[in-house]
Amino acid sequence: MSVPAILEVDNLQIHYRTREGVARAVDGASFSVPEGKIVGLVGESGCGKTTAVRAIMGVLAENGSRAGGRVVFQGKPIDAGNTRPLLWREIAYVPQSAMSSLDPVYTVGEQIVEVLTKRGGAARSAARARSAELFDLVGLSERRLADYPHQFSGGMRQRAAIAMALALEPSLLLADEPVTALDVIVQRQILDTLRELQQRLRLSMVMVTHDISVVAYLCDEIVVMYAGQVVESGPVREVLARPRHPYTMGLRNAFPDLVSDAMELVPIDGSPPDLRETLTGCRFAPRCPFVETACLSHALAPVTTGGHLSACRRDGEADALRAAALRPSTWLRP
Amino acid sequence: MAAPVNALVELRGVAKHFPVARSLGEVVRGQHPAVRALDGVSFDIGAGDALAIVGESGCGKTTLGRLLLKLVEPTAGTIAFDGAALAGLSGEALKAFRRQAQLVFQNPFDALNPRFTIYRAVAEPLLNAGIDKSEHADRVAEAFRRVHLPDLERYLDRYPHQLSGGQLQRVVLARALVLTPRFLVADEPVSMLDVSVRAGILSLMREIREEMGLTAVYISHDLALVRYLCERTVVMYLGTIVEDGPTLEIVRRPRHPYTRALVAAVPVPDADQSRAPLPIIGSVPDARDPPSGCRFRDRCPHAFARCATETPPLRAVGEGHTVACHLDLA
């Protein structure tokens, strides 16, 4: 790819200690974020997408640790030991529920001023002026800086969280399901704001979501995760139009589409594996309609074709599999 | 309105106002502000139909669902179930209604008591309805069969935390079906589930409804999803119905300016989709003080003088399709 990467994640391994043993939440995930692009990190609950993002920031839960792999940000390896000075200034975060990042007992303005003064070293007066600028940037009225978080609607809170994340002009924005809890019209308005800011400020972005429609609307690249690994990645247009991995094909069939002619959604039978168990072969194999005996034992071997990566043993037959995947009967289990 | 030939549920001028905390000024002036969650809603639900009620937070869709199940009483208007007014039900008739009308909860992770076994959770409605205990095992087994949970014994003694989201949602459905109801209200029945699992639950709900001849109301914010479940959709905005018609018509040729914005706002899983600005202004106004006339007028790009003075009634624009708008947007 011609655009240099601002972030590279290479063979990342994140383990959580649990009472029932070690869960390999992220198990050898690799992807990169090209400078000035929006990457959609998609997958279902427990696929490791949120863990991957928290690991990039070096803020894993107490029982989590990086067991291997590298994260390189702007050419320098980063880990939990050295991310702290980068947070807010270089790498900023927008959570799913802004309520969890905003303190209910301070006005929203005070909280943005605090980020600017404590983290950014700005003088209070300059910080106040800058907060007003930031509110304007995300489409909020300056008057609302004096309000408390509970006086904001869900969409306004999300805008405030974005304003706060942008306070110190980071170069990379990590957003974890930033529009999931919002109504569809508000969701669209926030997505448009994010896109506009990303272009105006030349931001790079990772958007964690379960919603492939949101990725299709907003993102340039897509990374599909399943059971702690990346199964497919590439340009959004290419991956959604011509998925090469059976999981992505299945996800596409199962996803509601307002404008398609299909009158039925096709589920993927079964559920993801327990990540506390020792897993061999392709993790999607037990649910895959195209599984062969060798899939159960062969380790993951990603194949890249023109910037489009797929981790399927049968990638050579991807076109034929895709045609078969469009037939609902393919996904029916006896 | 083209009333269904055989209506199971009939709503006439149904309103629900919730009182809200008063400011000092309002106390002094003797005012009693209220959120008009639902304001004069009339429609019929045909026996055996699947109806979607769609709208954003605060549009009144959840309140409407609760009214349909007589979980709250309307401030004004009447709701009739099978010809009998809900307000007048008491004693045996009320018990019979409670057996026939069931709610499917939104979040399967919250809907079940974590300390009850799956068997007890599904059998509980039978107990509450005073069904003889000797019948319980058979009826629970029947409900499990309907929701395609094979090998029943595997589940009965388990607790909710031992089940996956998809299994839990099937248990929640089984619980709603154990009394063999005629009418089901499901509030966002799959919004908490993963995509690959969701599709299975949706087709299961369709199958159950057809098999049992159920009348069902699905309350959802997700137009893309109800398209796969319901032939008819009612679109609500700030406590009123703005459009009511065949789901495919509404999705493909929305007639009300609000429905148009709603449809345009839904992203689709295709990189080449319209990113044109939405045909809507600002955000949802305060439900305590909705605009006069058409409630959508201050957000409507087509609004004109009449919209402020005259509330547009629902009028027919096609076969079983009504719209509450002064304009005829084709």
Low-confidence ranges of chain A (pLDDT < 70): 1-2, 334
The residues with which B240 forms a beta bridge, in sequence order, are B237
Residue B2 confidence class, pLDDT cut points 50, 70, 90:
very low
CA distance A253 to chain B (A): 9
Does the predicted interface ipTM exceed a cut of 0.90? no
From chain B, the residues in CB contact with A254 under 8 A are 195-196, 198-199
For A26, list phi and psi in degrees, rounded to 5: -125, 125
Residue count (chain A): 334
CA distance A120 to chain B (A): 33
B-chain residue closest to A213, CA distance = B269
| pLDDT at A122 (0 to 100) | 93
Q: How far apart (Å, rounded) are the C-alpha atoms in residues A283 and A269?
A: 14
| pLDDT at B1 (0 to 100) | 45
| pLDDT at B27 (0 to 100) | 86
Is B238:B287 a contact under the CB 8 Å cutoff? Answer: yes
The whole model's pTM is what? 0.92
Percent of chain B at pLDDT > 90 equals 71
- Whether the CB of A188 is below 8 Å from some CB of chain B: the reply is yes
- Whether the CB of A18 is below 8 Å from some CB of chain B: the reply is no
Q: Which residue has the higher pLDDT, B150 or A162?
A: A162
| pLDDT at B196 (0 to 100) | 83
Is A263:B228 a contact under the CB 8 Å cutoff? Answer: yes
AA letter at A103? D
Q: Which region holds residue A177: left if phi is over 0, alpha if psi is between -120 and 50, else beta?
A: left
| pLDDT at A193 (0 to 100) | 92
Mutation target among B106, B188, B270, B273 for the A interface, most CBs of A within 10 A = B270
| pLDDT at B330 (0 to 100) | 67
A-chain residue closest to B280, CA distance = A185
According to the per-residue pLDDT averaged within each range, which of B151-155, B219-223, B262-266 is highest? B262-266
Residue B244, pLDDT > 80, answer: yes
Q: How far apart (Å, rounded) are the C-alpha atoms in residues B217 and B195?
A: 21
Residue B12, pLDDT > 60, answer: yes
Is B227:B251 a contact under the CB 8 Å cutoff? Answer: yes
Query: What residue ranges define each of the domains in chain A, with the CATH number in brackets?
Result: 5-90+170-331 (3.40.50.300), 97-169 (no CATH)
Percent of chain A at pLDDT > 70 equals 99
Among the ranges given (A51-60, A323-332, B193-202, B295-304), the one the predictor scored with the smallest mean pLDDT: B193-202
Is A218:A207 a contact under the CB 8 Å cutoff? Answer: yes
Structure tokens at B243: 């459009």
What mean pLDDT is reported for chain B?
91
A264–B228 CB contact, under 8 Å? yes
